[in-house]
Structure 1
Amino acid sequence: MKLYNKIKWVLGILMIITLVITTNLVDRNNFLQISNAIETIYEDRLVAKDLIFKISALINKKEIAAIKSDSSFYANQNNLIDNEIDNYLLRYDQTKLTTKEREILGDFKVNYQVLKENESEFIQSNFLQNALLFDQFPEVKSNLENLAAIQLKEGGRQLQISRRAMDSVELFTQIEIYILIFLAIIVQIIVMYKPKEEE
């Protein structure tokens, strides 16, 4: 095999290898985006939604106890529920929060602290002064509803990111096929081309 033929083969193979490596890197980046979006939907949205649900259920227990003026609840369960809510809030803080979410979570913590103070006053008044306490429950619940709405919105946004990445993968796959066909034709032309030899 002449040197010229070897160079033709090497150039043809190098073109194909370069194309495959380039498209592989693009595909890898898109798959990383999809993977990150799916992890975010689970870790930062579904887990957060679950924590919000659990906190809401515990707040509802507190509200029912306040309505019933349940002294045994306040003596036995209230501190346990406060500890559970604090643990859920700690876990919630470890998720990836948006700016708005961080703001609403801060409002919730302030309102929740006020709720606990109002509960203490309610207990000390022998379950008679309940107006401030009952006014605080809607504030806390509103914060939780807003946090839950953010989970849905952000989950949808992450889903759109993964869809765009999938569309990009499909587009690059089709482009890759066309370029490979084009390069195969060029390689065939290069390999079969025989320059005229001078006489």
Structure 2
Amino acid sequence: MDSKMTLSQRLRMGAALVVVFLLVLATNLMDSNHFKVVQKGLTTVFEDRLLAKDYLYKISRQVQKKKVIIQSSDIEELTDLNEMLNDSIQVLIHRFASTELTENESLAFESLQTHIRSLNEYESNLLRNESINTELNIAGSERYFSAIYGDLDSLFKIQLEESDRVISNSNRTIDTSNRISRIEIGVLIVIGLLIQLLIFLRPIK
């Protein structure tokens, strides 16, 4: 058999190599896009969900401290700690606001801020009146705390739902990338065989 390739064989081999190149380029671009989607998903889960959940937990702890002080009618302790607790809560609220919020999350967050402001006004009235009636303080403050905890529960639930959604999307992207990779390997094998046939196939005379 003639070891030299004919012009026709060279053209066919060149065309096959171009096809391989375009296939590899296309799959690399798709893989790169899938990687970006997964990377963004992981960043979102950490920055907008795990950190957000930590901020909510810390807000909850600070609010609980306020509740213990108010419902024990310890006005002196409330006077000493209230400003510090409020500043701490505001810092956490500001950090939470800097995360990416969904529409429902924004509504629940606005409700939380409104109820915290209402609680602060109630506390200011207690400090002005120096109320020491434990039963009245418990009854009067309970609705404020119930509203705040209701908002926090809603926000905690959203963190879980959004984390699950992002992780599910990332898993689907990874599965798609794996399927494309398997298809790519199969196509490359077929193209490799076709190249061999094109190179060594004798031209019809």
CA distance in 1, matches of 2:76, 2:18: 79
Please show how residues 129-148 of structure 1 align to structure 2 within 5 Å.
Answer: 130=137, 131-148=139-156
**Residue number among 8, 11, 26 corresponding to 1:7 in the alignment:** 11
- SS in structure 2 opposite 1:146? helix
The amino acid across from 2:153 in the alignment is E
| Gapped regions of structure 2 (runs ≥ 5) | none
Does 1:25 find its partner at 2:38?
A: no
Residue 12 of structure 1, CA deviation? 1.8
CA distance in 2, matches of 1:132, 1:71: 15
CA distance in 2, matches of 1:196, 1:172: 37
CA distance in 2, matches of 1:56, 1:108: 11
Does 1:110 find its partner at 2:93?
A: no
Residue 135 of structure 1, CA deviation? 1.9
**Residue number among 162, 171, 187 corresponding to 2:195 in the alignment:** 187
Aligned residues: CA RMSD:
1.3
Please show how residues 1-199 of structure 1 align to structure 2 within 5 Å.
Answer: 1-127=5-131, 128=133, 130=137, 131-197=139-205
CA distance in 1, matches of 2:25, 2:74: 69
Q: Is the Cα–Cα contact under 8 Å of residues 122 and 133 in structure 1 kept in the other structure? A: no
The amino acid across from 2:42 in the alignment is I
The amino acid across from 1:70 in the alignment is D
The amino acid across from 2:179 in the alignment is L
- SS in structure 2 opposite 1:77? helix
CA distance in 1, matches of 2:77, 2:140: 19
Residue identity (%): 28
TM-score, normalisation: structure 1 = 0.94
